Structure formats: structure tokens, C-alpha cells
Amino acid sequence: DVKVTQSSRYLVKRTGEKVFLECVQDMDHENMFWYRQDPGLGLRLIYFSYDVKMKEKGDIPEGYSVSREKKERFSLILESASTNQTSMYLCASSQGQGVSYEQYFGPGTRLTVT
Amino acid sequence: GQNIDQPTEMTATEGAIVQINCTYQTSGFNGLFWYQQHAGEAPTFLSYNVLDGLEEKGRFSSFLSRSKGYSYLLLKELQMKDSASYLCAVLLSGGYNKLIFGAGTRLAVHP
């Protein structure tokens, strides 16, 4: 059974703190993605990675960075958390670069920045 | 730019049929996905269309018209457990499986 796990379901941080969100997949997938989900806006892509140490900006990368040192792990970093980064963060992975490969999602991390 | 539109909310009765529409305007198109997301849970894959026409999978069917930039998800014999958000997503060209999502349609099924 395919599995994407995220380090925390709920997280509360203070403004200015550095925040790490971890994602691990056990399917040997090449591609990994970080999204944020906000009411009325849907899922928006922050960053994605198609190989170890490779990363590409998504649609809203400002204020975020990522790290992929191992194939199974993709980390999202908020260098200095701000209240407008309060959101649900979803990690996903998919196999290869074929057009028909679905993305598998983790359960999400609800981050609150106070 | 990229634009995907779907209704914000829909309601339906248990046992009925509901159609959730999705229109899109994107720079590049390599197929369209539908995902289901129950409150507080991860989105899960429902269907993928890349060619025009209807794909049927049990109680759920998905239709695509590429010339019209239009898709719909059809849910038959609705059950209470179908109450969820339904996300339409376009797969862009260029590899890497990059998806653009609509805002989602929240479906409430009533007895």
C-alpha cells in the first residue's frame, strides 16, 4: 500500500521562527511536491523536486525553501514564519515523468503561525 | 495564465445523481484529474482523462472535451459517504507531473 507521511498533523509556531515540515514517501517515486491549501483558493504549488538535490519553484515559492537530500524525503522550510503562512500544507509524490501518473498525497500539516 | 473554475458548493440527495463541472484555460494540457478529499484528510485519486469522452468507474464517471476546455464528474447512486470536496486538476505539459488545481467543489449529500 502506497504511503506518504508528514511529520506533524498540527503545528503552532511563532512569527519569525524557522519551521521545518518533513515528508517521506515509501514508493520510490522520483517526483515530490509541496502544496498549501487555503479555503477558496484550492491547492497551490510551492515547490517540487524531480530528483535528489533537484528543485523547481512552483507558483508561490516566496518565503519558502526546500531540501531533498534523499529520494524518499522532501522538506519544506519556512525561513522566518509569518502569519500569512498559516495554512494546510500537503506533500505529494508521483512516479517518473509520464503524463498519466497520479500524485499520492500525505495527510497534511495544519500550521498556525501566531 | 492558468484558470480552472468549478462551483464552490453543491448539495444533493442520497440515491440521486450529481454532476460537478470544471472548465479550464491553461497553457498546455496533458490530461485532467479528479480527486476526492474528505474533510481533514488527504486528496485521493478518482479519475484521469486525456482523450475526449466518458470514462466510467463504478458509480463515478468523468467526461472530457478538450476543444471546449470542459470536464465533469458524474456521481450516481449517491451515498452519505460521498460528502466531500471534489478537486479538478489539469496536468500541464513539460513533464514532472505538474498539476494546477481548481478551488474544489464541496458536495453535501443529504438523506
pLDDT in tens, B57-100: 999 999 999 999 999 999 999 999 999 999 999 988 776 678 89
pLDDT in tens, A61-98: 999 999 999 999 999 999 999 999 999 999 999 986 65
Cell of B14: 442520497
| Distance between CA atoms of residues B6 and A5, nearest Å | 29
Cell of B4: 480552472
Q: Does B97 touch chain A (CB under 8 A)?
A: yes
Cα dihedral angle (A71, A75, A76, A80), rounded to 10 degrees? -140
- Least Cα separation, residue A53 to chain B (angstroms): 15
Partner-chain residue, chosen from A35, A42, A97, that has the shortest CB–CB distance to B104: A42
Confidence of residue A112 (pLDDT cuts 50, 70, 90): very high
pLDDT of residue A110: 96
Is A102's CB within 8 Å of B48's CB? yes
Partner-chain residue, chosen from B30, B40, B102, that has the shortest CB–CB distance to A42: B102
CA terminus-to-terminus distance, chain B? 41
Chain B residues within an 8 Å CB radius of A41: 103
Mean pLDDT of chain A: 93
How do strand B84-91 and strand B70-75 relate by DSSP bridges? unpaired
| Distance between CA atoms of residues B88 and B96, nearest Å | 18
pLDDT of residue B77: 97
Chain B residues within an 8 Å CB radius of A103: 33, 45, 97, 99
Is B103's CB within 8 Å of A44's CB? no
| Distance between CA atoms of residues A56 and B97, nearest Å | 12
Beta bridge partners of A111: A11, A87
Mean pLDDT of chain B: 94
| Distance between CA atoms of residues A49 and B27, nearest Å | 21
